[in-house]
Amino acid sequence: MNNTKKCEYCGKEININYTICPFCGGRLSEAVKSIQPVCPRCKVSLKTTVSNGEEYHICPLCGGMWLDKAAFRRATSEYNVYRNENIKDEYKKEPIKDTIEYIPCVRCGKLMNRKNFSRISGVMIDECGRHGVWLDNSELEKIRHFIADGGLEKAQDREIERNRIKIEEVAADVEHTAFVQKVLHFWNFKRWLFGG
């Protein structure tokens, strides 16, 4: 069984699971399975829909949708969200459901990670780091609403505040350590014991 492949940039043999070549740093293209995408919840074939030049794969039963990484990035970019004039009222965060169910990626079949979009939105998305994002019914609209209501700025403000507190804690630790070193140096026990 061959567990290596050739890097498409430098030609060296590397592990088949690598996405970045350890020798040259080139990002390797991955051949996505050319299978009909299936809903990870309902197990039915997804219907492909094109809207505003973007391709979405939508489940006809539950309304969930698969977005490849680039399509998700564009759908949730501030530029695209702010162009939408339909979002007017204030975003209301819903409580996160207690039940956690991990679902497989539409492209590779591996279990996806669950994460709170932008850490504070309250919208739990299922993400495959290599291929894309699964959104349950209406989650894309909730994410876009969160962004339109300034949610990304709020998340950035929280991150800045968290970093400021950590920097203050580190500064206090450094100051305390410097003080202890000065005290130890001042009260050099050899000098004290031998009177020198």
User: Which pLDDT tens digit goes with each residue over 30-66?
Assistant: 655 556 789 999 999 999 988 777 888 999 999 999 9
pLDDT of residue 155: 76
Q: Rounded distance, CA 172 to CA 179, Å?
A: 10
pLDDT of residue 195: 60
Question: Of the ranges 35-44, 126-135, 183-192, which one carries the lowest mean pLDDT score?
Answer: 183-192
Sign, Cα dihedral of 122, 128, 132, 134: negative
Q: What is the DSSP letter of 112?
A: P
Task: Please compute the mean of the pLDDT values over residues 19-33 and round it to a whole number.
Answer: 79
* Burial (CB count <10 Å: 0-12, 13-18, 19+), residue 126: buried
pLDDT in tens, 75-96: 888 887 777 666 666 667 777 7
pLDDT of 71 strictly over 80 = yes
Percent of the chain with pLDDT over 70: 84
pTM (two decimals):
0.66
Tokens of 12: 């060296």
Run of H or E residues at 78: helix 78-83
26: helix, strand or coil:
coil
Q: Rounded distance, CA 173 to CA 118, Å?
A: 30
Mean pLDDT value across the chain: 84
**Chain centre distance of CA 59:** 23
pLDDT of residue 93: 72
Q: Rounded distance, CA 101 to CA 112, Å?
A: 10
